[in-house]
Amino acid sequence: MEDPSLKQEMSLKTFLYCLKHLKTIGDDKVRILWWEPLLYSKIEEIFKLSVKWGFRVHTFSNFKIPVPRLEKILDFGDSYDYSRLSFNLNLNDEDFYKQGELDMIYNTLQFLREKWCSRMVSYNIYEYSHAYDFIFDVAQRFGVKDIILKVTNTVMWDKEIIDSNSREYWDYIYSMIEKYHKDFNIGFGCGLSSKIFTQEQKDFIASETNIRLKWGCENNGGRYDINTDGSVYRCFPLQSIYKGKELHITHPVFQNNTLSKVTKFIDSYVPTNIGLVEDENCLGNQINKFKK
Task: Quote the CA–CA distance of 271 and 289 in Å, as a whole number.
Answer: 17
Rounded to two decimals, what is the model's pTM? 0.84
User: Are the C-beta atoms of residues 125 and 169 closer than 8 Å to each other?
Assistant: no
Whole-number Cα distances in Å, 226 to 34, 42, 166, 212, 245: 10, 17, 33, 26, 15
> For position 18, what pLDDT does the model report?
94
Domain regions of the chain by residue span: 4-291
> For position 154, what pLDDT does the model report?
47
Arch. (CATH architecture) of 4-291: Alpha-Beta Barrel (3.20)
> For position 149, what pLDDT does the model report?
82
Per-residue pLDDT of the chain (292 residues; tens, 9 = 90+): 234 444 578 999 999 999 999 999 999 999 998 778 898 899 999 999 999 999 999 999 999 999 999 999 999 999 999 999 999 998 888 888 999 999 999 999 999 999 999 999 988 776 667 778 899 999 999 999 999 887 655 444 455 555 555 677 788 888 989 999 999 998 877 666 677 788 999 899 888 888 876 665 555 555 688 888 898 887 776 676 777 777 899 999 998 888 888 888 887 776 544 444 444 445 444 444 444 3
> For position 282, what pLDDT does the model report?
52
Whole-number Cα distances in Å, 220 to 42, 107, 142, 191: 25, 25, 22, 12
> For position 161, what pLDDT does the model report?
52
Assign residue 100 a region (left: φ > 0; alpha: ψ between -120 and 50; beta: otherwise). left
End-to-end CA distance of the chain: 20
